[in-house]
Structure 1
Amino acid sequence: MSENTLATRLAAWVTALEYDQLPPRAVEMAKLLILDQLGLQVRGATLPNVQPERRLVEAMKAAPQSTMVLSDARTVAQYAAFVNGTLGAAFEFDDVHMYAAHIGSAVVPTALAFGESTGASGREVLTAVVAGAQVMSLLGATTLRDMVGVGWHASKILGTFAAAATAGRLLGLTPVQLTDALGIAGSDAGGTMEYERSGGEVKRMHSGSAARSGSQAALLALDGLTGPATIIEGERGLFQLFADTRDTSGIDGLWDHFHIVDTIFRLYPTIGSAGPAIEAVGHLLTHDDLPWRDIKEIRLGLPAIAVGHGAAVTRPTDMVSAQFSTAFSVALRLVRGHNRPEDYMDPALWADPDLLSVVDKVVPYAMEFPPDAPFLSCRVDIAPADGRVLSHTQYGVRGHPSYPDTEDADIEIKFLDNVEGVISGPAARQIIEGTNGLERLDEVVELMSLTGRRE
């Protein structure tokens, strides 16, 4: 086996990582990711669109190793990760990352499920989360935009490798075994974004499927199965097949930065690129008289990838397409004054004539922003019938750690909103306290036991 492939380098880095090497902000961000995910999983467990996955696993009656959120049943770790990852991505509210797409719903369920099954401490779980996020980010730095541009779901593909690293770390794989696990994971990496065009709740399963496939790859490697060490940069590897390149040099300068700290927490349950448009419209509403019935046109200047990704979706036909439609999100903000999870789940709103009249006035176009502008930016120009043009350029979005209006407390509030009425108030507070002090927990099972209790 070559010692110089990207898989071997990643495996060596992951297996050598120690908790004491982690910067304080990386630890803090891992805790926030876990808290955010647990709230999303609890809320997701109440939704009908992800019940088939849970019923499938419950019917397996597998060994009760790990918790499935809000389920009376437990299952083997890889399928607990599958179910909980699906729940965590059930309504387009999980985190966003410019390199890794969506870290939390692939890495966190894997870390918690295998943390339970292996009796891992909170420190070990936090280290595994940071390690998985790093693998996902390093691989995505070269490939994410090309994947999305041709219709591959980067989160599903990258998440499979990240879950292999996360589970492999908790299973105690050697560098050679983890290299094999990454090689095996590559054979299960895939997933198209056709759901953007014609709907389909299968999208919610992609994070869970990545968690299951990647963690299963780690288990197989532990038991002796081998995989190609050149799975990433090889002639038929990840980079070539999904991004039409074999060049790994773009990663060389990225190893020393802990990329988990760049995670963006979504504060709107929509595709990430819709967030700046929502906030730009909100800015105009607070500064100008803007009756939505009098609007003639709404022009949205977006990064080119966002035009083909979310802005290409217009009239929704299901919850997925509602959340992916930037125009629908803008219409909700203008007509109803908010963008709540329930707004995207209501079939009556998908066909609401008032909302659709605004949707039809949205014109997205590709726009170049200044080189130092955050990728998630948007220019909005709204033309009312009186001849004015109201404009605002939104650089960045609340939820990014570098954005001045975002506080860690926002993630705690989001968690409490998601679990309200589902689990008890005392249990919710215990989860917050347990996550905040995760490095002091001897076994992560103490935290997961709280997620099975309904109010």
Structure 2
Amino acid sequence: MPEAARQAAFKCIMDLLGAALAGVNEKAVVATRRMAVSMMGQGSVPVWFSDAKTTPAGAAWANSAAASILDIDDGNRLARGHPGAAIIPTAFAIGQETGASLERIIAAIVIGYEVGVTIAAARLVYGNTGTWSSYAVVATAAALRGTGADVVEHALAIAGESAPNQLFASAASQVPPPEGSDVKEGIPWSVVTGLMALGLAEGGHTGPRNILDSVNHYRFAEDLNFGGELHICRTYLKLYACCRHVHAPLDALLATMGAHGIKGADIDAIEVDAYAGALRISNKVDPENLTDIQYSIPYCLGLVALAGREMLLPLTVEALGRDDVRKLAAKVTLRQCEEFNASFPAQTLAKVAIIANGQRFVSGVTAPKGEASDPLTWQETRAKFKDVSRWVATEVTSDALLDAIEKMRDGSMDELTSQLSGLDLTSVNDAGRAAGSKGVLR
């Protein structure tokens, strides 16, 4: 692996483990964990941060659910989705199954990003991550198993045809719009689909190998290298537990409030100029659940303006049902900007105007923090890990995990493997959060 890709992979692993740690006790994750053990059976592969062990497929499924549930996992602009939550749990599970070295696991992760993002970018119709991440799962697992090309061809084809369709959730506009749910982007189930597809192909099951030649569904770039930089090097990391479409408006809002000393209670209205994709998410003013919040620019802006950015790192039930936030969210106007449309999906830009105290304050054109063009540093990613996991892990626990990740970066995975299989944090609940490490947001 090129050194830049190796370092990007280590950073993505740290970021993904922090997301999974933060999400380990969410109801949907608990349900998935139970089903993974019940349906996939007992095994030797750990379900992260719990005392459960199951089969490779079961562990990858459960760990993917934890990593993706809070919408704080990494993303890729070309793919318009979230590769890490499918690829990294797969690499760790199959890596343990095959006894793979650290370098082989890193290589498989880089390959998974490369295949998944390339295929996602070639799609002619947008689909949520689960519609294409099964391809990435096949590639990751096949790299670790040393699967032959003839089998991989069928496995990719089976995965492509069997992946979650997400037809309701992926469509640009729906009547009625999809209600927020834990299914979201279908990432965990795409992990199961991809691993099953590879297993079926290894057993002789066939798939339509010309699927990627379909001009109705895919159009690949002439240069699949996209200029030479590997896709994992162009992956972005998120600083808020919400859809990426919400991030640029949030950063613009916070920058403008900070520059002019504006308090949330002073705000009379907020105007947001963004691209069409940002206006197609549900954007509910009165969300019914946490997923609704994750896909709402108005509510997230109101929440952060009144209660601070820590409310989205991570998102918790305390964010729901706030009358003050709903009232401010109702004063948010969303407008489509053709200039920003022209740069999407390569960029997700926004501009915000705040009306407060009889004056109008306008932000500059804003790109969200953590983009590949201006990535988070290793230390900033460490800080995010501690912030996002503060309700689940004490400072001692999070420091031990981060030390194990540092040792992995130095070449040894033993300590991290021990931590992931030996820590049981599933008993931490809302009551325990008050006594836990609150951390300091940076």
- With the length of structure 1 as denominator, give the TM-score of the two structures: 0.84
Give the Å deviation of 1:252: 4.0
Q: How does 1:84-233 map to 2 (within 5 A)?
A: 84-100=63-79, 101-143=81-123, 146-147=125-126, 152-153=127-128, 155-189=129-163, 190-192=165-167, 194=169, 197-203=178-184, 206-233=186-213
Give 1:410 shift: 1.2
Cα distance change of structure 1 residues 256 and 402 upon mapping to structure 2, 3 Å threshold: closer
Structure 1: which amino acid aligns with 2:206? Answer: T
* 1:274 alignment partner in structure 2: 246
CA apart distance, 1:119? 0.5
User: Structure 1 residues 84, 296: CA separation in 2 closer, same or farther (over 3 Å shift)?
Assistant: same
Shift of 1:33: 1.0
Superposed counterparts of 1:237-256, under 5 Å: 240=216, 245-249=217-221, 252=224, 254=226, 256=228
Q: Which amino acid in structure 1 is aligned with residue 26 of structure 2?
A: L
- Within a 5 Å distance, the mapping from 1:38-57 to structure 2 comes to 38-57=17-36
Cα distance 1:253–1:165, how it changes in 2: closer, same or farther (>3 A)?
A: closer
What are the ranges of 5 or more consecutive residues in structure 2 without an aligned counterpart?
171-176, 426-442
Task: Please report how far the alpha carbon of residue 225 of structure 1 lies from its aligned counterpart in structure 2 after TM superposition.
Answer: 1.8
1:40/1:93 contact within 8 Å kept: yes
SS class of match (1:358): helix
Contact 1:266 1:399 in 2 (8 A): yes
Show the counterpart of 2:430.
none
What is the letter of the counterpart of residue 419 of structure 2?
L
The secondary structure found in structure 2 opposite 1:300 is strand
Q: Is the 8 A contact 2:240 2:314 kept in 1?
A: no
Matched, 1:409 2:379: yes
Q: Match for 2:323: what amino acid?
A: P
Measured in 2, the distance between the counterparts of 1:372 and 1:183 equals 32
CA contact (8 A) 1:422 1:454 kept: no
Which of 306, 312, 320 matches 1:335? 306
Question: Which residue of structure 1 aligns with residue 419 of structure 2?
Answer: 450
Q: Is the alpha carbon distance of 1:369 and 1:433 closer, same or farther for their aligned partners in structure 2, counting shifts above 3 Å?
A: farther
Is the Cα–Cα contact under 8 Å of residues 32 and 411 in structure 1 kept in the other structure? yes
Query: Which residue does 1:285 correspond to in 2?
Result: 257
Residue in 2 that maps onto 1:5: none
Contact 2:155 2:207 survives alignment (8 Å): yes
CA distance in 2, matches of 1:424, 1:353: 32
Separation in 1, partners of 2:242, 2:321: 18
Correspondence for 1:12 = none
Distance 1:360 1:427, change over 3 A: closer
Paired position in structure 2 for 1:7? none
Structure 2 counterpart of 1:82, which letter? Answer: W
Distance in 2 of aligned mates of 1:346 and 1:117: 37
Contact 2:239 2:313 in 1 (8 A): no
Does the 8 Å contact 1:199/1:320 carry over to 2?
Answer: yes
Within 2, Cα distance between the matches of 1:281 and 1:45? 30
Identity %: 23
Alpha-carbon distance in 1 for matches of 2:169, 2:221: 31
Distance 1:362 1:246 in 2: 37
Correspondence for 1:352? 322
Q: Could you give the per-residue CA deviations for residues 385-414 of structure 1, whole angstroms, max 9, x where no partner exists?
A: 61x22111343222123227x322111112
Q: How far off is 1:157 after superposition?
A: 1.2
**Counterpart amino acid of residue 416 in structure 2:** L
**SS, match of residue 369 in structure 1:** helix
**SS in structure 2 at match of 1:298:** strand
Normalised to the residue count of structure 2, the TM-score between the two structures is 0.86
Query: 1:281 touches 1:330 (CA, 8 Å); kept in 2?
Result: yes
Q: CA deviation at 1:88?
A: 0.2
2:51 alignment partner in structure 1? 72
Residues 1:399 and 2:378 aligned together: no
Give the structure 1 partner of residue 288 of structure 2: 317
**Post-superposition offset of 1:448:** 2.9
Return closer, same or farther for 1:166/1:87 CA change in 2, 3 Å cut-off.
same
Counterpart CA distance in 1 for 2:4 and 2:136 is 20
Q: Which residue of 1 aligns with 2:277?
A: 305
**Secondary structure in structure 2 of the residue aligned to 1:65:** strand
Partners of 2:225 and 2:2 in 1: CA distance? 18
Q: Give the letter for the 2:94 counterpart.
A: F
Over residues 33-61 of structure 1, what are the superposed CA-to-partner deviations in whole Å (9 max), with x where a residue is unaligned? Answer: 11111121122112223211111122236
Aligned length: 414
Task: Verify the 8 A CA contact 1:164 1:215 in the aligned structure 2.
Answer: yes
CA contact (8 A) 1:141 1:250 kept: no
Change (3 A) 1:252 1:112: closer
Contact kept in structure 2, 1:276 and 1:396, CA below 8 Å: yes
Deviations 1:307-341 (A, max 9, x none): 1125x433211000011101111101211122424
> How far has the Cα of 1:420 moved from its partner?
4.0
Deviates more, 1:324-333 or 1:373-382: 373-382
Retained in 2: the 8 A contact 1:40–1:87?
A: yes
Q: Structure 1 residue 427: deviation in Å?
A: 5.3
**Between 253-262 and 423-432, the greater mean CA deviation after superposition:** 423-432
Q: 1:435 — aligned with what? A: 405
CA contact (8 A) 1:329 1:339 kept: no
CA deviation after TM superposition for structure 1 residue 297, in Å: 2.9
For 2:214, the equivalent position in structure 1 comes to 234
Structure 1: tracts of 5 or more residues without a match: 1-21
Q: Secondary structure at the match of 2:89?
A: helix
1:364 aligns with 2:334: yes
Once residues 158 and 119 of structure 1 are traced to their aligned partners in structure 2, the CA distance between those partners, rounded to angstroms, is: 27
User: Of 238, 258, 265, which residue of structure 1 is paired with 2:230?
Assistant: 258
Q: CA deviation at 1:381?
A: 1.4
